[in-house]
């Protein structure tokens, strides 16, 4: 089966956003006089939506609804002013997108990042490439690992699930790929490790974005 499309996660897959997210949440925590976290800890806080990230960042004895809602409000304020400060494409991503575009592979993004950031981030940081659809977290669509967003994208593209690669850096992404019937590729340059991706059912572990191009090339032979 030849691949015709690639749906990618955003944070930890296309763009390294960890520093900006950590800075926003840590500043929000300090506003509540709560302890901040090391940037590396956020690798395991993110990926399941903003509310879950905020809950994970709170101390266990401070996870009441009132504190959580206040933290979420502060995070929104802080991230609004810094979401592009340090966020950049991972090495090899521009070249991967160039080659996939050259080969006619259609591109889309499915993220648990709020839509209000997902769209502008792609149009600003990855403005040189055409993504047909960019779907972020939205109240009218269940978050990953529910396959609804991925299936919505390929329906609009008129592409079969088995013709689509789903690229992501977390177990949630690989579970999404499996639920949607797509070929799940785990991005080892991202936030999570090989064990998590393998346990979640990755069909392939990619050490570098060039590995995705190799996969597409093999499907065309």
Whether residues 131 and 160 fall in one domain: yes
pLDDT tens-digit readout, 13-30: 999 999 999 999 999 999
Whether residues 171 and 148 fall in one domain: yes
Specify the DSSP element, H or E, that contains 220: helix 209-220
Q: Look at residues 60, 80, 100 and tell me which one is the last residue of a structural domain.
A: 80
- Residues 112-146 as b/e (b if ≥16 CB within 10 A, e otherwise) read bbeeebbbebbeebbeeeebebbbbbeeeeebbbe
Confidence of residue 219 (pLDDT cuts 50, 70, 90): confident
pLDDT given at position 47 = 85
Specify the DSSP element, H or E, that contains 211: helix 209-220
Answer for the pair 93, 206: CB distance below 8 angstroms, yes or no.
no
Number of structural domains, the chain?
2
Host domain of residue 56: 18-80
Whether residues 38 and 100 fall in one domain: no
User: CB neighbours (10 Å) of residue 156?
Assistant: 11
pLDDT given at position 221 = 64
**Residue 1: pLDDT above 90?**
no
Q: What's the start-to-end Cα distance of the chain, in Å?
A: 10
Q: Two tokens at 115?
A: 């839509």
CATH classification of the domain holding 41: 1.10.150
Mean pLDDT, rounded, for 109-116: 95
Whether residues 51 and 98 fall in one domain: no
Whether residues 74 and 111 fall in one domain: no
Q: Look at residues 80, 108, 123 and tell me which one is the last residue of a structural domain.
A: 80
CATH classification of the domain holding 117: 3.40.50.1000
d(C-alpha 57, C-alpha 34), whole Å = 10
- The position carrying tokens 């691949």 is 3
**CA torsion through residues 194, 200, 201, 202, sign:** negative
Whether residues 60 and 140 fall in one domain: no
pLDDT tens-digit readout, 36-58: 999 999 999 998 889 999 999 99
């Amino acid at each position: 089966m030849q691949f015709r499309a690639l749906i990618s996660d955003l944070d930890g897959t296309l763009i390294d956003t960890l520093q900006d997210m950590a800075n926003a949440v840590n500043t929000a925590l300090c506003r509540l006089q709560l302890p901040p976290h090391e940037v590396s800890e956020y690798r395991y806080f993110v990926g399941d939506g903003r509310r879950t990230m905020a809950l994970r960042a709170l101390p266990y004895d401070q996870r009441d609804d009132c504190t959580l809602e206040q933290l979420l409000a502060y995070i929104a304020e802080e991230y609004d002013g810094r979401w592009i400060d340090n966020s950049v494409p991972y090495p090899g991503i521009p070249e991967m997108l160039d080659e996939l575009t050259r080969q006619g592979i259609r591109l889309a993004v499915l993220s648990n990042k709020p839509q209000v950031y997902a769209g502008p981030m792609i149009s600003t940081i990855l403005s040189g490439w055409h993504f047909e659809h960019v779907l972020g977290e939205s109240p009218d669509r269940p978050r990953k690992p529910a396959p609804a967003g991925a299936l919505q994208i390929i329906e609009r593209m008129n592409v079969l699930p088995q013709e689509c690669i789903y690229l992501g850096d977390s177990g949630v992404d690989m579970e999404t790929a499996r639920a949607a019937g797509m070929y799940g590729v785990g991005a080892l340059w991202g936030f999570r490790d090989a064990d998590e991706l393998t346990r979640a059912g990755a069909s392939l572990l990619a050490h570098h974005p060039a590995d995705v191009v190799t996969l597409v090339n093999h499907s065309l032979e």
